[in-house]
Structure 1
Amino acid sequence: MARVVVDVMLKPEILDPQGQAIVRKLPQLGHTAVTSVRQGKRFELELDGPADEAALDEIRKIAETLLTNTVIETFELRVL
């Protein structure tokens, strides 16, 4: 059994209101070193078998069609 993580983030050119709200609040909480925050999503997919190239290709298709809005988001796969 293998586990694959799909990290989804807004594209850099897309406004991230949640990230902006967080970065504005941080100084009020005493955190002054952070200058930028981007908010995203994480999905963990467990596989029945190994995370071979065929399985990763299938997960890429799932990520492109279901987990992300490819117009405004990008994704990365990681095998745990």
Structure 2
Amino acid sequence: MKARVHVMLKTGVLDPQGEAVRHALGQLGFDGVEGVRQGKVIELDLTETDRAKAEKSVTEMCEKLLANTVIESYSVEIA
């Protein structure tokens, strides 16, 4: 089973990487970009075959390691 975790900074948290990307896009002539938020995607290959157990396990991984829940939000996809 595969899991995909999307981690993004929460709304209101300063995103210096996103701002740098927005600025660079403007320098390259892409003037219509008003804001950029940058995040990360983590893909996991799991041995678990039960979807509910897999989702619970990945959620625990996010809470303990994969996301800083103070400043980041995350979403989990199980496939």
TM-score, length-normalised on structure 1?
0.89
CA 20–77 in structure 1, closer or farther in 2 if over 3 Å, else same: same
CA 51–8 in structure 1, closer or farther in 2 if over 3 Å, else same: farther
Aligned residues: 79
Alpha-carbon RMSD across the aligned residues, in angstroms, is 1.2
User: What is the Cα deviation at residue 79 of structure 1?
Assistant: 2.4
Contact 1:51 1:79 in 2 (8 A): no
1:26-65 → structure 2 map (5 Å cutoff) = 26-50=25-49, 52-65=51-64
Partner of 2:71: 72
CA 51–27 in structure 1, closer or farther in 2 if over 3 Å, else same: farther
User: What is the Cα deviation at residue 29 of structure 1?
Assistant: 0.4
Instruction: Could you tell me which runs of 5 or more consecutive residues in structure 1 were left unpaired when the two chains were aligned.
Output: none
